């Protein structure tokens, strides 16, 4: 993976990207191992909760209610945040958000910023914009640091460097931090990162963050993390700039009671995040940053909200449980999705955030097995949204593609008993040249043409039997009649 940001507008199709990933045995081993570990931890802390299903339902209701009254809660947040000394900016899209952040950083005269892990800033490719303006962003989350130093791209929304193992991380650190020797134990690697980052924490005066939740009732912002590096970025700089999607708002402080139980257990298999930071505007006594800006960004979220069937996508609280549970993601890892949002949530979010483009293959990057829906802490019915988006793709492509024509023909067949029977008979005739008998006299097809050839890459196909069920049934009925039954 090069340093080129993941961009669904230019990314290859999912099947093509997945093919490349499937060939990377090291990546697959890393992804399988990491998702397995997180899944096991999650299962343990979910099983111990007697009211997990009720919690999920509460989470769903909170998110649904918030989305229904999003305009109200956003204004309430703006009011309360402003009252507490924060400056609220509104951004229609990624472009505007980048311009606002770069402008604020430049107004500070800053040449460097320290960053907290934020998928929203990845979504808008903020680092690239900062660099273009001559500002160096330092990622301080351990995984994001690995990604940045390795000129890589995040492959998971919670564990962005999940596709790398310890040996690979050691190589990156050793090379990029100019270290003579470095062990590969977690302690060695954490120690190297600590030394590298501490100096940045103490020196850099501007911090940039995302947000897990915006609390409308208080104007507060909440970030949860595991390392404490986020806490450093939230407390040491003089200026803090937060970029948040407008979907991150929750009505009341009390709603965190539900969401902060669901999120850590689903995301990392922890009962509680080690660091839960909540701040409201700026502190009058001078503790923490003197200036706080927050950019509330739409970037297609209101369009998603307007789509009755797609809007539940916005309920997502970015736990990544669907990625760990997804049998497709576990084979390919995140980069195949060509977006910072990978896995099942990426397959529904990315095509709605962007004009379909290459992202139109994403709704098909699922066997609809439903493992994502089963683990989603706010019960987003991802398979249902995938099907909805597939319908959008089909309508966009029009009725004249080979697939659409075949589907139309099949549709006509299923609408008539007579045509269905004829199709069964025709199928037997059509497949005959491809059928080979095996030792038991059973017919098998080992090669199929065109699109269907995907099947016979690694699978045989059982030939059609000489008699369909309905033909057998009619024969039986006739013989029973003739026997006088």
Identify the CA nearest to 245 among candidates 68, 93, 83, 81: 93
Q: Toward another protein, which CB reaches closer, 234 or 365?
A: 365
CB of 57 to another protein, least distance (A): 16
CA distance 163 to 165: 7
SS3 assignment, position 110: coil
CA distance 378 to 66: 13
Torsions phi, psi for 99 (to 5 deg): -60, -40
CB of 332 to another protein, least distance (A): 6
SS3 assignment, position 184: coil
CB of 161 to another protein, least distance (A): 22
CB of 330 to another protein, least distance (A): 9
Q: Toward another protein, which CB reaches closer, 290 or 428?
A: 428
SS3 assignment, position 19: helix
CB of 464 to another protein, least distance (A): 6
CB of 434 to another protein, least distance (A): 14
Q: Which two tokens stand for residue 263?
A: 């999120």
Q: Toward another protein, which CB reaches closer, 274 or 427?
A: 427
Q: Toward another protein, which CB reaches closer, 71 or 460?
A: 460
Identify the CA nearest to 73 among candidates 319, 311, 255: 255
CB of 347 to another protein, least distance (A): 11
Q: Which two tokens stand for residue 410?
A: 């099949």
Q: Toward another protein, which CB reaches closer, 29 or 175?
A: 29
* Count of beta carbons in the 10 Å neighbourhood of residue 63: 24
CB of 371 to another protein, least distance (A): 7
Q: Which residues pair with 297 in a beta bridge?
A: 91, 245
Q: Toward another protein, which CB reaches closer, 280 or 456?
A: 456
CA gyration radius for the chain? Answer: 27
Q: Toward another protein, which CB reaches closer, 13 or 277?
A: 13
Q: Toward another protein, which CB reaches closer, 151 or 367?
A: 367
How far from 104 is each of 115, 206, 207, 239, 297, CA to CA, in Å?
Answer: 15, 10, 11, 9, 15
CB of 349 to another protein, least distance (A): 18
Q: Toward another protein, which CB reaches closer, 71 or 474?
A: 474
* Count of beta carbons in the 10 Å neighbourhood of residue 57: 14
Contacts made by residues 366-373, CB under 8 angstroms, sequence distance 24+: 366/326, 366/328, 367/327, 367/328, 369/327, 371/322, 371/325, 371/326, 371/327, 372/321, 372/322, 372/325, 372/326, 372/343, 372/344, 372/345
Q: Which helix (H) or strand (E) holds 186?
A: helix 186-203
Identify the CA nearest to 79 among candidates 280, 283, 216: 216
Q: Which residues pair with 91 in a beta bridge?
A: 297
Residues near another protein (CB under 8 A): 14-15, 18-19, 22, 327-328, 331-332, 363-371, 373-374, 387, 389-395, 404, 407-408, 410-411, 413-417, 420, 424, 427, 438, 444, 446, 451-452, 454-455, 457-462, 464-465, 467-474
């Amino acid at each position: 993976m090069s340093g080129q940001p993941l961009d669904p507008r230019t990314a290859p199709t999912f099947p093509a990207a997945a093919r490349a990933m499937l060939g990377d045995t090291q990546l697959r081993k890393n992804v399988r191992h990491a998702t397995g570990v997180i899944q096991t931890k999650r299962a343990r802390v979910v099983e111990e909760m007697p009211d997990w299903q009720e919690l999920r339902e509460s989470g769903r209701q909170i998110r649904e209610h918030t989305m229904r009254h999003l305009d109200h809660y956003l204004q309430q947040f703006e009011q309360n945040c402003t009252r507490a000394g924060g400056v609220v900016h509104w951004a229609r899209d990624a472009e505007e958000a980048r311009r606002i952040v770069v402008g604020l950083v430049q107004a500070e005269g800053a040449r460097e910023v320290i960053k907290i892990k934020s998928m929203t800033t990845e979504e808008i490719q903020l680092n690239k914009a900062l660099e273009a303006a001559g500002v160096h962003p330092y990622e301080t989350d351990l995984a994001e640091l690995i990604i940045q130093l390795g000129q890589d791209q995040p492959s998971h929304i919670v564990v962005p460097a999940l596709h790398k193992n310890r040996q690979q991380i050691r190589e990156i650190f050793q090379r990029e931090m100019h270290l003579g020797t470095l062990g590969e134990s977690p302690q060695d690697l954490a120690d190297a990162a600590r030394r590298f980052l501490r100096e940045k924490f103490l020196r850099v005066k501007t911090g940039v963050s995302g947000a897990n939740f915006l609390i409308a009732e208080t104007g507060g912002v909440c970030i949860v993390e595991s390392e404490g590096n986020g806490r450093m970025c939230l407390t040491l700089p003089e200026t803090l700039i937060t970029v948040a999607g407008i979907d991150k708002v929750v009505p009341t402080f009390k709603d965190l009671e539900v969401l902060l139980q669901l999120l850590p257990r689903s995301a990392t298999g922890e009962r509680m995040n080690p660091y839960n930071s909540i701040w409201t505007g700026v502190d009058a006594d001078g503790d923490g940053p003197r200036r706080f800006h927050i950019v509330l960004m739409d970037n297609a979220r209101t369009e998603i909200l307007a789509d009755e069937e797609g809007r539940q996508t916005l309920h997502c609280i970015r736990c990544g449980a669907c990625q760990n549970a997804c049998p497709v993601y576990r084979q390919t890892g995140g980069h195949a999705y060509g977006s910072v949002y990978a896995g099942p949530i990426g397959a529904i979010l990315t095509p709605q955030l962007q004009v379909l483009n290459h992202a139109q293959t994403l709704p098909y990057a699922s066997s609809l097995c439903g493992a994502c829906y089963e683990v989603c802490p706010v019960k987003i019915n991802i398979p249902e949204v995938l099907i909805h988006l597939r319908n959008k793709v089909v309508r966009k492509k029009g009725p004249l593609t080979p697939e659409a024509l075949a589907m139309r023909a099949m549709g006509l067949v299923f609408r008539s008993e007579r045509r269905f029977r004829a199709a069964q008979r025709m199928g037997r005739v059509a497949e005959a040249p491809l059928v080979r008998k095996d030792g038991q006299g059973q017919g098998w097809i080992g090669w199929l043409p065109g699109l269907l050839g995907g099947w016979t890459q690694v699978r045989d196909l059982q030939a059609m039997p000489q008699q369909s069920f309905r033909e057998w049934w009619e024969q039986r009925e006739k013989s029973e009649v003739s026997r006088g039954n």
